[in-house]
Amino acid sequence: MIGVLIVDDNGKMAEILRQAVEMNEGYEVRAIGADGLSALRLFDEHKPEVVFMDIEMPGMSGIDCAREILEKEPDTYIVFSTAHDEYMGEAFELYAFDYMLKPFKLERLEKTLVRISDMLDKNKETVKDLKKLDKLMLRNRDGMSFVDIDEIMLIFREGSRTKIVTARNTYLTGMNLNAIEDKLEGESFMRTHKSYIVNLKYISQIQPYGRWTHVVKLKGLREDALITHEKLQKLEEML
């Protein structure tokens, strides 16, 4: 079952959304929060794959709450459910999956949930069937580049492009991080943050940066990466 967290300070609206979500096969609402602070606690407790988030709430806004959730777990599907369209640009800057304006039709919600299910199924099949590749093929304006996977130190999103950094070269590609992550196999690489993939073999130091984030220093690189608190805990368990 795909776990869902609903965050809305309107209790009636939250209950309507809960019923609508659970009408779709494969989904279960694990918790409902009324504000951003309770949402963060419930997210840590229930680990949902999907979060439906209102924006204007008492205390912490939905935008700020979503930002903290994505810093903890970059792969979370954030769906904003709000009556206010003026936040749409800021929401998608956070890599929100969808933005639904209230009142929305059940068909609109169903389409969003089907898209999420399809993406989760595709990711599972990709991981199951993936065979280790020695090279990563990148399409660009000049044709194709072939990068030795073992030499990749850092991959990160910069604007609308993705940068792949080795000790000798930097490559630009339009591929998003999810697509690249699917092509990398083994324990050497970790999606440390929604915007970064790091080759763990090249980490030289990790320094505190904020409440939920740390800075990753890589051997011989000027570029740094970010790692969330949750991912750092996983890394500590691995080593």
Query: Worst-scoring range by mean pLDDT, 60-64, 91-95, 200-204?
Result: 91-95
pLDDT tier for residue 126 given thresholds of 50, 70 and 90: very low
Distance (Å, whole) CA 207 – CA 89: 31
Q: Is the pLDDT of residue 104 over 80?
A: yes
pLDDT at 129: 47
Same domain (yes/no): 187, 99: no
- Domain end position, chosen among 128, 157, 185: 128
Instruction: Give per-residue pLDDT as tens, 164-183.
Output: 999 989 998 878 888 888 78
**C-beta atoms surrounding 88 within 10 Å:** 15
pLDDT tier for residue 223 given thresholds of 50, 70 and 90: very high
| Average predicted confidence (pLDDT) for the chain | 87
Mean per-residue pLDDT, 107-124: 86
Instruction: Give per-residue pLDDT as tens, 60-91.
Output: 999 999 988 888 787 799 999 888 777 788 77
Number of domains composing the chain: 2
pTM of the model: 0.56
- Domain end position, chosen among 60, 95, 128: 128
pLDDT at 133: 54
Q: Is the pLDDT of residue 131 over 50?
A: no
For residue 82, give the CATH number of its domain: 3.40.50.2300
- Domain end position, chosen among 128, 155, 184: 128
Same domain (yes/no): 115, 36: yes
Tell me the CA distances in angstroms from 203 to 200, 215, 219, one per residue in order. Answer: 5, 11, 6
Tell me the CA distances in angstroms from 153 to 24, 61, 100, 123, 179, one per residue in order. Answer: 41, 36, 38, 23, 17
pLDDT tier for residue 186 given thresholds of 50, 70 and 90: low
